[in-house]
Each structure stands twice: as C-alpha cells, then as structure tokens.
C-alpha cells in the first residue's frame, strides 16, 4: 500500500513504516499488515496485522523487539505492536 518515514525526536532515530495489502490472503493470513524498520540500520523492528487471530497466529503477525536480544523480535498482543509502531511514527 505504501511507506512513510519519520524522524522521532524523542528517540533520535529515523523510522520507515511499510504498509502491505494482501488481497489474496488465505484464512489465517491478514489482508493488511505493516512493518516498522530502522531507516539507518535497515532492521525490522516491529510488525502489526489487523485481524482476529488465535494466540499462536497473533505471535507470528504481531511482534516487537525482544528485550533480551537487541537484534531479535518476540511475539506480542496486536494492540501492543500497534502502539509500539504508532508511538515511533508520531513522536
């Protein structure tokens, strides 16, 4: 669907948000999802998908940084991932 970039003054970092629309999504896959990347390092930082998912599927499509591994990600509840991305793209 598109992308946008944002310099977050609070974090002192540049972010890129990429939004996808998957019209041919299968039953367990979301039609709409977005990713947050660090614009300088190119790292995928978070993912968020719209939809109703069971716990396992939600952990695949909704992820934030793993506090125990600075370069890893961990599954989370979708509202948490959504807030993580929104906070970085608006502050």
Q: How many residues does the chain have?
A: 91
pLDDT tens-place string over residues 20-74: 887 776 766 777 889 999 999 888 999 998 776 777 677 778 889 887 877 788 8
Residue 10 pLDDT grade (very low, low, confident, very high; cuts 50, 70, 90)? very high
Answering whether pTM is above 0.95, one says no
Q: What is the structure's pLDDT at 28?
A: 65
Which runs of consecutive H residues, i.e. helices, occur in the chain?
55-61, 78-90
């Amino acid at each position: 669907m598109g992308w946008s970039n944002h310099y977050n003054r609070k974090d002192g970092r540049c972010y890129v948000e990429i939004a996808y629309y998957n019209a041919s999504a299968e039953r367990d896959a979301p039609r709409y999802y977005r990713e947050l990347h660090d614009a300088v390092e190119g790292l995928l930082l978070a993912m968020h998908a719209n939809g109703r998912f069971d716990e396992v599927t939600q952990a695949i499509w909704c992820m934030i940084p793993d506090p125990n591994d600075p370069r890893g990600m961990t599954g989370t509840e979708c509202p948490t991932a959504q807030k993580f991305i929104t906070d970085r793209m608006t502050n």
